[in-house]
Copies of this chain bind each other. A is one copy, B any other.
Amino acid sequence: MKISLGTDIGGTNTCVGSVSADGIVLYKETFPTSDYTDATLYADRLAEAVRAVMTATASDSAHTDIEWLGLGIGAPNGNHRSGSIEHAPNLNFKGLIPLVELMEARLDLPKIDLTNDANAAAIGEKIFGAAQDYSDFIMITLGTGLGSGVFVNNQLVYGHDGFAGEVGHISVIPDGRYCGFGRRGSLENYCSATGIRRTFFEMLAQLGSSTSLDHMNIGELTAKDVSEAAENGDPVAQATMDFTGRLLGEALASTALVTSPAAFFLFGGPVKAGPILLDPLRSSFEQHLIPPFKNKIKIIESALPMGDAAILGAAALVIE
């Protein structure tokens, strides 16, 4: 049986898993990424985790005649063309880390591939999720940031430089919120989980009313709290989710103009908010499309399971 390996490198933890051809995570192992400041030592630890997962998978009598397809790695700022993690702001190993090369020196696998986490999610959706019948689509992942992966003609677009699909950094509000990099007003500062938190404070400022979240510590408030308060009828939280949905809808309408996708797939915690986010999003999306695009492009919730999506996406990289 064909089994692939997927690694999700996060700022806090690294997770490695083995994935069957039908998209089931068979075994997985986790270790802290943040313990490592040296990329070589990290590569040693990652190789050890991969071997442990391979051994555990092979020792299960249900898995016979295993053909290992390879190891896919999803990482922040992972560049598919260079095989390197490039200047990832939230990892402890800095600069250019040639991770594919480091892992090829440590593991004997037919294929080792790297891309960023949102691109991996897009491939995961295509191979294992709801995008299997779509040749042209865009995956949007909402979390701390807003990531994206763009499929054109059944292929993930890496672009000239390996970094295509950075829709989160599109400018949506001229001279808007501060984003880091000295830039302002980009989409992810409004419509990621972090952005929803910021919008809640903006709505508090604008509406000046008390809310059902007044008892919470400012620092502890999350997008999930806002989304739940909105569902329970809190007007400030509702205004926040409505603003988020409408702005994201407008931004997706602009993005659709570039590659004319058949669908957007939305993944991540905020998407679980359901209609309080998705209704204003879909309505604003249609409103901002030009006539030849109207009523043709679907907005679909990802079918990838929240917990295993990153591993599935990374593993799909070597199946593609």
Interface of A toward B, CB cutoff 8 Å: 77, 79, 86-87, 135-136, 150, 152-153, 155, 157-167, 169-174, 181-183, 250-251, 253-255, 257-262, 287-288, 290-293, 296-297
Contacts and interface: CB of A to CB of B under 8 A. Distances in A.
Nearest to A253: B171
Contacts of A153: 155, 157
B261 A292 contact: no
Nearest to A155: B153
A77 to B, nearest CB: 7
A283 to B, nearest CB: 13
Q: Is the interface of A mostly helix, strand, loop or mixed?
A: loop
B292 A171 contact: no
Given A166-B290, A172-B174, 16 more contacts: A79-B292, A86-B292, A135-B160, A152-B157, A159-B259, A159-B260, A160-B260, A160-B296, A161-B262, A161-B292, A164-B258, A164-B260, A166-B257, A166-B260, A173-B174, A183-B287
Contacts of A152: 152, 157, 159
Contacts of A250: 171, 174
Contacts of A160: 135-136, 260-262, 296-297
Given A135-B160, A136-B159, A157-B152, A258 B292 contact: no
B259 A161 contact: no
B259 A150 contact: yes
Contacts of A171: 172, 250-251, 253-254, 288
A261 B166 CA distance: 12
A290 B258 contact: no
Nearest to A296: B161
Q: Which of A157, A253, A257, A288 has the most CB of B within 10 A?
A: A257
Nearest to A153: B155
Instruction: Quickly give the copy total for this chain.
Output: 2
Contacts of A292: 77, 79, 86-87, 161, 163
A184 to B, nearest CB: 9
A105 to B, nearest CB: 25
A276 B158 CA distance: 33
A136 B164 CA distance: 11
A257 B170 contact: yes
A288 B161 CA distance: 17
A169 B257 contact: yes
Nearest to A81: B260
Q: Which of A86, A155, A169, A296 has the most CB of B within 10 A?
A: A169
Per CB-CB distance, the 8 closest pairs between chain A and chain B, nearest first, are: A159-B260, A164-B260, A160-B262, A166-B257, A136-B160, A170-B254, A258-B258, A169-B290
Nearest to A251: B171
A165 B290 contact: no
